[in-house]
Amino acid sequence: MTPPPLQATRFDRLLRQLLEWLFGGVRGSWRRRSLAALALLLGFYLGQNVTSLWLAQIGQRPVVVLVLVLLIELLVRLRSRWVSGVVPLPWLVVDNLRIGAVYAVVLEAFKLGS
């Protein structure tokens, strides 16, 4: 015997939206999930290495941070302007690259103590 369906109450809609927000990125095909995870890890790797490389070559931390902040802000503005609704796979990869790079830079800042 199957349980009766839930009524579409405000609480039920809130729960469904919360679950979609929390686990929406996990849903999808195998290719979509694996590319999202790889992009997140690659963004973290690039964020660590690019900041270290730029700091070693340029040597001025404010310039490096300004360039990274401007690049990340540009990506956020472009995505919010062009994409609404379901996020296509290329934008998901770009978002995860961005998130991984930001996480690496923030973690590096905590490690340096600044």
Q: Domain locations in the chain? A: 28-112
Identify whether the C-beta of residue 39 lies closer than 8 Å to the C-beta of residue 92: yes
Q: What are phi and psi of 50, to 5 degrees?
A: -70, -40
Integer-rounded Cα Rg, in Å, for the chain is 19
Place of tokens 């369906």: 5
At 44 the pLDDT is: 93
> Side chain identity at 114, as an amino acid letter?
S
pTM over 0.75: no
- For 23-34, write each residue's pLDDT tens digit: 776 677 888 889
What does the block give as tokens for 45? 């790797």
What is the pLDDT confidence band of residue 61, given thresholds at 50, 70 and 90?
low
